[in-house]
Structure 1
Amino acid sequence: MKTHEIRRRFLDHFVRAGHTEVPSASLVLDDPNLLFVNAGMVPFKPYFLGQETPPYATATSIQKCVRTLDIEEVGITTRHNTFFQMAGNFSFGDYFKEGAIRHAWSLLTSSLDDGGFGIDPALLWVTVYLDDDEAYGIWRDVVGVPEERIQRRGMADNYWSMGVPGPCGPCSEIFYDRGPAYGVDGGPEADEDRYIEIWNLVFMQNERGEGTGKDAFEILGPLPKQNIDTGMGVERVAFLLQGVENVYETDLLRPVIDTAERLSGAEYGPDSASDVRFRVIADHARTAYMLISDGVSPGNEGRGYILRRLLRRIVRSVRLLGAAGETMAEFMATVRDAIGPSFPETVSGYERIERIAVAEEAAFLKTLESGTQLFERAAESARRSGAAVLSGQQAFALHDTHGFPIDLTLEMASEAGLQVDEEGFRSLMSEQRARAKADSQAKKHAHADLSVYRDFLDAGETVFTGFTDLTDESRLLGIVSGGEAVAVAREGDEVEFVLDRTPFYAESGGQLGDRGMISTAGFQMRVDDVQKIGKKLWIHKGVLTAGEVEVGQLVTAAVDPEWRKGATQGHSATHLVHAALRQILGPEAVQAGSLNKPGYMRFDFNWSGSIPADVLAQIEEVTNYAVDADYGVNTIETTLDEAKRMGAMALFGENYGSTVRVVEIGGPFSMELCGGTHVSSSAQIGPVSLLGEASVGSGIRRVEAYVGMDAYRHQARERALVSGLATSLKAPADELPDRIAALTAKLREAEKALDSLRAAQLASQAGDLLGSAEDLGGIRFLAHSAPGGAAGDLRTLASDLRGRLGSDAGVVLLTAPGQGKVPFVIAVTPAAQERGLRAGDLVKAISPALGARGGGKADMAQGAGTEPGGIDAAVSALRDAVRDAG
């Protein structure tokens, strides 16, 4: 049974049972506790936490999930993937244990003709929590599972929570027996390789307190409502129903292994030592593909770092299998063809996915090349010192600092006749993981308490009237102050107002919330910010500047018209810039974030490499052409599918409702899904002045611009600057670039001449300086300070002095104090090196006195300090170090 059919049968089964089918959320959600969605219940957390009232009593979904805690273990076990699909059914105060158990058992054991999976009931085992006699009785007496196939397990295995205070409860798991060829008898308690968990039914009935781990927390008491959260692993069921050996050989991942075989010439087989590498490629290629499709780009932190690790492990693994050159495009295309029927939206965005993955591969191939050179230097150093082992510190530095995989380090060391201190490397890796885990725990916290808004959320949505009105009469439904609901607010109080209807725009889509006033004859409140709770409740934040107000009063809500005008200009300008970017750069330039407010806009987009100034000028020109064309701005409310058919752009990582709002500017020029406020026609935006572009992460660029009157003021300042330069240089404005270039060239020539003169003066001193060298036990020691000297000059002079010392053992220290810094160079002759002196090691002797950092090789090292007053102490310390060697 193909994976796509497994998905369809699951959803159809629960829809027939009255559940609402909910589409998968993006892998990236705004959750402070999660890098990625890691369980099917995550999108439903507001309902389980009591923050929002669910719009349905029961639901079903197949949620995209990513778990990356043990990336290094991928491919070793037969059942773990970093990306997986969690099929789930959920009850919010509707059915409970018996209903959940009956639904799961029916789907698993019903015949194929009846829409089930047709699994033999005799192959299924179940586990329940230690004291959950109710679940035990349902399995035994209602479903008919023999007692010998029902096992009780402890809290670590059969009790669920989110890891933070909140809902929790016992769970019951369903296992599939693969048979005696895969392990010993005795059920899940005996062998979880033979008995594979395929379904987990969570009976959410309690509330947990603070604590750590799976079982070190207190159960505070029962929840007001009993809920059901279940999850069936689609990949696990697929590998069992398809009769393959593991999750990597199913119809969604085996094609990637086949591609890896073709590209590498290696063979995948059940006993092959290379199997883990094939599985890593298959797993990581699919996960990377899905992450990029949801808007993640490679980077050095957070989600971007995870994606980068996955892509680099693919490159490493395929090279170790024997492939040469770039392979990523083929892997991404294979994943697209396999997973496309389940996730068609990834196919339409494939060009961007491929471009990002291929760019990261190309960058890492260069890293591998440079890493190889670093390894060779480390290996040569080990051989020179007579060592047969590359230290754990060196291997860790290659891995951590330079991104060089330990697998390649081990392989190359073996070829070079060296061993690697793997224990030392693993120890350093463990320390790093411990630090990362501690940091993660420090950042992890309980969910924000939004219960104060629960009654308001239950009462219904705030009616937003701001698309047509800037002033509206509203009823004050609630006042929140200091995190608590209050009945009255007085002058000076910082408050949050909940209104039944409002013209104020709440921050979203990159547009900041409106500013303005809420008032009656008896009070005034200055609105400084407007936010949304649960996507449907508007919270007006600000300060009561006069009088007092009670809940229930009728009030006047008035948006500052100048603020709104500027905000709409900035938001509409963002759409024009997006369209211009795609027109000039191509369809791969897709939005990755934005911020717009009166007079200013910032736009992030997916793109690799900087944008030349002339191309940026084209983008600015196209944007302002659209302004000058005075395009009409139209808004259309329709279904998501219809909006896509119209050609409207949807953003990665956004979750849209059944009805969406399309903002169209100039017909085909710009058409995007957007809930923001906009101008009536493009001419109302006014001029748009791009300020430049820059990188804000791997594969993401940012442009910033002034809009409207702020753009005019910016251009006026630029014009005044040009006028001032023209007057100073006595040249027309159009000749300024050539005149400035000529002056710059002359300045550079003068600087070169000064550098040459300074270097010649230093060189002329070399003979005199040698005469002042001290004899320290047969080692000539020379220390000299040249205030204001350049670091390059010091290096040249140090090299000259070392050469003049010839076969003598000698150490040279040169410093050049100036402007709070102390550049320095240490040079050591070959004869002094034979006596154990190394320039790189000697840096450590002077660093404390100079407040310095630096390093180098045995013959020469350099660096800089911040303590010019420590030169004498540094010379003394170095003298002692040389004397000790003598």
Structure 2
Amino acid sequence: MQTHEIRRRFLDHYVRAGHTEVSSASLILNDPNLLFVNAGMVQFVPYFLGQQTPPWDRATSVQKCVRTGDIENVGITTRHNTFFQMAGNFSFGDYFKREAISFAWSLLTDSVEDGGYGFDPERLWATAYLDDDEAIELWKEIAGLPDERIQRRGMADNYWSMGIPGPCGPCSEIYYDRGPEFGVEGGPEADEDRYLEIWNLVFMQNERGAGTSKDNFEILGPLPKQNIDTGLGVERVAFLLQGVDNVYETDLVRPVITKAEELTGRTYGVNNEDDVRFRVIADHARTAVMLIGDGVNPGNDGRGYVLRRLLRRIVRSAKLLGAEQPTMRELVAVVRDEMSPSYPELATDFTRIETVAVGEETAFLKTLTSGSRLFEGAADDVKAKTASGGGAVISGEQAFILHDTYGFPIDLTLEMAAEAGLSVDEDGFRSLMAEQRKRAKDDAQARKHAHADLTVYKELVDRGPTEFTGFAELNSEATVLALISGGVRVPTAVAGESVEVILDRSPLYAESGGQIADQGSLTATGLRASVDDVQKIAKKLWVHKVTVDEGQLTEGDVVLAQVDPQWRHGSTQGHSGTHMVHAALRQVLGPNAVQAGSLNKPGYLRFDFNWQGGLTESQRDQIEVVTNDAVGADFPVNTFVTDLQKAKEMGAMALFGENYGDEVRVVEIGGPFSMELCGGTHVQHSSQIGPVTILGESSVGSGVRRVEAFVGLDSYKYLAKERALLAGVASSLKVPSEEVPARVEQLVERLRVAEKELDKTRMNAALSGASGYVEKAERLGALKLVAAAAPDGVTGNDLRTLATDIRGRFGSDPAVVVLLGTADGKVPFVVSANKAAQDLGVKAGELVGSFGPAISGRGGGKAEMAQGSGSDPSGIDAGLSAVRARVAELAAGS
């Protein structure tokens, strides 16, 4: 049975049982505890906690999930994926254990002809929480399971929670016995490879408090209602029904391995080490495509860092399998082909997904090249030490620095070390990695906290959404439904107090979609209050953050809610301007330049978009011209509501990672010029945006660029300031404004020539004094030492030239030259030792350690020449004394 059919059968089964089919949430949700959605119930948490009333009593979904807790073990076990699909059914106070067990058992064991999966009931086992006698009796009654196929397990195994304060409860897990060839008898307690968990039925009935582990937390009491949350692993069911050995060989994943075989020339199933790498490629390629599809881009922290690790592990694994050319483009294409029947957006948005993935591969291949050079340097140092009696081992610290700082994989370090006849201190490396993971884990744990308590808003949310009137008017009469302060409802608020105000209707826009909230006021007889912010609860309740300036505000009051018209005018300019810049970007750069985030407020917009590499000056100019041409065209701005599918068919752009309802609002500017899904406020004609001035373009992460711009009056003010600045420069140069660039270029060139002449003069002066340094050389045993401070302003390169010249004047006599200078507050230095001095044991690179601390300096090099820089000129004399002492020691020992 194909995976897509497994998904469909699950949903159809529960829809027939009265459940509402709910679409998968994005892998990215606004939850401070989660990088990614990692369970099917995540989007339903407010319903389980009783903070919001669900729109249905029972629901079913197949949720996209990503778990990356231990990426290094992917491919080693045969039942874990980083990306997986969790099929679930949910009851919000409707049914409980009996129905949950009955629904699950019938789907698993009903024949394929009757819509089930057709599992042999004799091979199914169940577990239950230690004291859950009710569940055990139901398994016997409904499924006919004998006592020996029902096992009681403790809290760590069969009591479910999210790991933080929130909903929890005992659970029953369903296992499938794969047979004696896969392990020992004895049920799940004996062997969870042979007995594979396929479904977890959570009887969510309690609320837990804080704790330190799976089985160490306090049960605070019952939830408002008894709920059901189940999770069936689609990939696990697939590999059982398809008769393959593991989740990597199912119909959706095995084709990626097949493509990797073609690209590397290796064969899957021959060598266990190779097999792990093939599985890593298949697993990570699918996960990466799904993450990029939901708007994640490679980066150095958070979600972006996880994606970057996944993509780099694909590249690394492919190279270790023998791939000589880039592989990412072909691998992600296979993922698209296999996954798009269930997730069609992967096909429609594939160009962007491919661009992000291939861009990261290209960057990492460069990293591998530079990392190889760094490795070779480390290997040379080890070989040099080996020649003098040291061990042929690259230290764990060196391997860790290569891995952590430069992104060079430990597997390649091990392989290259072996080729060079060296070994690596793996224990030291693993220890440093463990320390790093512990720091990251501790940091993540410190950031976790209970879900925000929104209970105070529940009654208000249940009454229905706030009526937003701001599309049609700026002033609305409204009734105060509630006042909230410190998380509790209060009857009144007086002058000087800040309070959250819930109105039945409001013209003030609540922050969302990149547009910040309106500012305005609430007024009535004897009352004046300022609205400083407006936020949404449950996407439908407007919460006005208000400061009472005069009088008293009381629940039940009728007030006039007013938007500051100047604020709204500027805000609509910024928001409509954002749409115009987006359209211009796509016109200039192509369809891959799609939105990755935005912020707009009066007079200003910031727009992030997916793109590899910086824009040229010509592209920036074109984007500004196209935008302003569209502004000047006075395009009409039309808005309308339609269903999501129809909007997409019309070509309306959507924000990746955003969950939209069945009905969406479309904002159309100039017909085909710009069409986006958007719930924000806008101008009525494009000319009302006013001029748009792009301030600049920059990187905000791998594959993501940012454009910033002023609009309207702020744009004019900026241009006026720039004009005044240009006029001032023109006046100083005594040329017309249009000649300023050419004159400045002439001045810069003249300055460049003068600086070169100055450098040449300074160098000649320094070299002319070389003989003086030689005459003042100190004799320390068989060595001659020049240790001196160079003239001020001599650069590091000049010092190198001077030191080389001085060293050459000693001929075959053993000589060491140490020069320290001062330039721009720094202390550049050079150490040079000729061949005769090296034969006596002097190494320039090692001498840096003798004086470096005195000048707060660092540097390095080889035996012949070393250089670097310090930051403390006051330590020059002490540094020179220290290096004299060290050379004297070396001379005495030679």
TM-score band by shorter chain is over 0.9
Deviation at 1:787? 2.2
Structure 2 Cα separation of the partners of residues 515 and 366 of structure 1: 49
Deviation at 1:842? 3.5
Structure 2 Cα separation of the partners of residues 13 and 618 of structure 1: 54
Structure 2 Cα separation of the partners of residues 808 and 495 of structure 1: 85
Which of 800, 808, 813 aligns to 1:803? It is 808
Structure 2 Cα separation of the partners of residues 868 and 76 of structure 1: 55
Retained in 2: the 8 A contact 1:828–1:839?
A: yes
Structure 2 Cα separation of the partners of residues 482 and 866 of structure 1: 51
Partner of 1:567: 571
Structure 1 Cα separation of the partners of residues 106 and 755 of structure 2: 84
Bigger drift between 411-420 and 26-35 goes to: 411-420
Bigger drift between 536-545 and 669-678 goes to: 536-545
- Give the letter aligned to residue 756 of structure 2: K
Partner of 1:547: 551
Deviation at 1:90? 0.7
Partner of 2:507: 503
Structure 2 Cα separation of the partners of residues 862 and 488 of structure 1: 72
Unaligned runs of 5+ in 1: none
Deviation at 1:417? 1.6
Q: Is 1:772 matched with 2:776? A: yes
Q: Is 1:661 matched with 2:665? A: yes
Deviation at 1:203? 1.1
Counterpart mapping for 1:24-63 below 5 A: 24-63=24-63
- Give the letter aligned to residue 287 of structure 2: T
Measured at CA, do residues 49 and 829 of structure 1 come closer, stay the same or move farther in structure 2, by a change above 3 Å? Answer: farther
Deviation at 1:45? 1.5
**Per-residue CA shift, 1:461-484, capped at 9, x if unaligned?**
111111111111111111122333
Retained in 1: the 8 A contact 2:128–2:135?
A: yes
Structure 2 Cα separation of the partners of residues 858 and 431 of structure 1: 35
Structure 1 Cα separation of the partners of residues 734 and 832 of structure 2: 50
Which of 667, 688, 707 aligns to 1:684? It is 688
Retained in 1: the 8 A contact 2:50–2:223?
A: no
Retained in 2: the 8 A contact 1:59–1:90?
A: yes
Which of 781, 786, 792 aligns to 2:791? It is 786
Structure 2 Cα separation of the partners of residues 874 and 460 of structure 1: 76
CA-atom RMSD in angstroms:
1.6
Structure 2 Cα separation of the partners of residues 448 and 811 of structure 1: 68
Measured at CA, do residues 823 and 486 of structure 1 come closer, stay the same or move farther in structure 2, by a change above 3 Å? Answer: farther
Retained in 1: the 8 A contact 2:476–2:562?
A: yes
Partner of 1:823: 828
Deviation at 1:807? 4.2
Retained in 2: the 8 A contact 1:211–1:218?
A: yes
Which of 466, 471, 489 aligns to 2:470? It is 466
Retained in 1: the 8 A contact 2:49–2:224?
A: no
Deviation at 1:867? 2.4
Partner of 1:843: 848
SS at match of 1:68: coil
Retained in 2: the 8 A contact 1:570–1:601?
A: yes
- Give the letter aligned to residue 664 of structure 2: V
Aligned length: 886
- Give the letter aligned to residue 515 of structure 1: Q
Structure 1 Cα separation of the partners of residues 125 and 834 of structure 2: 76
Which of 871, 876, 886 aligns to 1:871? It is 876
- Give the letter aligned to residue 188 of structure 1: P
Structure 2 Cα separation of the partners of residues 481 and 583 of structure 1: 48
Which of 696, 706, 712 aligns to 2:710? It is 706
Unaligned runs of 5+ in 2: none
Retained in 1: the 8 A contact 2:605–2:708?
A: yes
Partner of 1:441: 445
Bigger drift between 669-678 and 471-480 goes to: 471-480
Structure 2 Cα separation of the partners of residues 86 and 270 of structure 1: 32
Measured at CA, do residues 479 and 865 of structure 1 come closer, stay the same or move farther in structure 2, by a change above 3 Å? Answer: farther
Structure 2 Cα separation of the partners of residues 508 and 442 of structure 1: 28
Partner of 2:251: 251
SS at match of 1:753: helix
SS at match of 1:588: coil
Deviation at 1:531? 0.9
Counterpart mapping for 1:190-339 below 5 A: 190-269=190-269, 272-339=272-339
Deviation at 1:746? 1.1
- Give the letter aligned to residue 83 of structure 1: F
Structure 2 Cα separation of the partners of residues 20 and 291 of structure 1: 26
- Give the letter aligned to residue 293 of structure 1: G
Measured at CA, do residues 102 and 376 of structure 1 come closer, stay the same or move farther in structure 2, by a change above 3 Å? Answer: same
- Give the letter aligned to residue 353 of structure 2: I
- Give the letter aligned to residue 121 of structure 2: P
SS at match of 1:283: helix
**Per-residue CA shift, 1:592-648, capped at 9, x if unaligned?**
011111111010000011111111111101000111100000001010011111111
Retained in 2: the 8 A contact 1:633–1:665?
A: yes
Deviation at 1:272? 4.3
Measured at CA, do residues 734 and 883 of structure 1 come closer, stay the same or move farther in structure 2, by a change above 3 Å? Answer: same
Partner of 1:122: 122
Deviation at 1:771? 2.6
SS at match of 2:112: coil
Retained in 2: the 8 A contact 1:787–1:815?
A: no
Partner of 1:758: 762
Retained in 2: the 8 A contact 1:687–1:711?
A: yes
Q: Is 1:353 matched with 2:353? A: yes
Partner of 1:601: 605
- Give the letter aligned to residue 712 of structure 2: G
Bigger drift between 617-626 and 453-462 goes to: 453-462
Structure 2 Cα separation of the partners of residues 834 and 294 of structure 1: 63
Partner of 1:393: 397
Deviation at 1:817? 2.9
TM-score of the aligned structures, taking structure 1 as reference length: 0.98
Structure 2 Cα separation of the partners of residues 359 and 876 of structure 1: 52
SS at match of 1:113: helix
Structure 2 Cα separation of the partners of residues 48 and 294 of structure 1: 25
Bigger drift between 262-271 and 695-704 goes to: 262-271
**Per-residue CA shift, 1:217-266, capped at 9, x if unaligned?**
11122222111111000000000000001000000011111111111111
Bigger drift between 227-236 and 139-148 goes to: 139-148
Counterpart mapping for 1:477-496 below 5 A: 477-496=481-500
- Give the letter aligned to residue 818 of structure 2: L
Measured at CA, do residues 850 and 98 of structure 1 come closer, stay the same or move farther in structure 2, by a change above 3 Å? Answer: same
Which of 563, 577, 581 aligns to 2:581? It is 577
Structure 2 Cα separation of the partners of residues 391 and 344 of structure 1: 49
TM-score of the aligned structures, taking structure 2 as reference length: 0.97
Structure 2 Cα separation of the partners of residues 114 and 804 of structure 1: 97
Bigger drift between 80-89 and 807-816 goes to: 807-816
SS at match of 1:643: helix
Deviation at 1:836? 4.7
Retained in 1: the 8 A contact 2:605–2:711?
A: yes
Which of 402, 416, 432 aligns to 2:436? It is 432
SS at match of 2:65: strand
SS at match of 1:872: helix
Measured at CA, do residues 806 and 285 of structure 1 come closer, stay the same or move farther in structure 2, by a change above 3 Å? Answer: farther
Structure 1 Cα separation of the partners of residues 813 and 186 of structure 2: 79
- Give the letter aligned to residue 274 of structure 1: D
**Per-residue CA shift, 1:676-722, capped at 9, x if unaligned?**
00000001000000111111110011111110011111111122222
SS at match of 1:661: strand
SS at match of 2:26: coil
Partner of 1:557: 561
Structure 1 Cα separation of the partners of residues 726 and 361 of structure 2: 44
**Per-residue CA shift, 1:548-602, capped at 9, x if unaligned?**
2211111111110000000000000000000000001000000001111111101
- Give the letter aligned to residue 310 of structure 1: L
SS at match of 2:479: strand
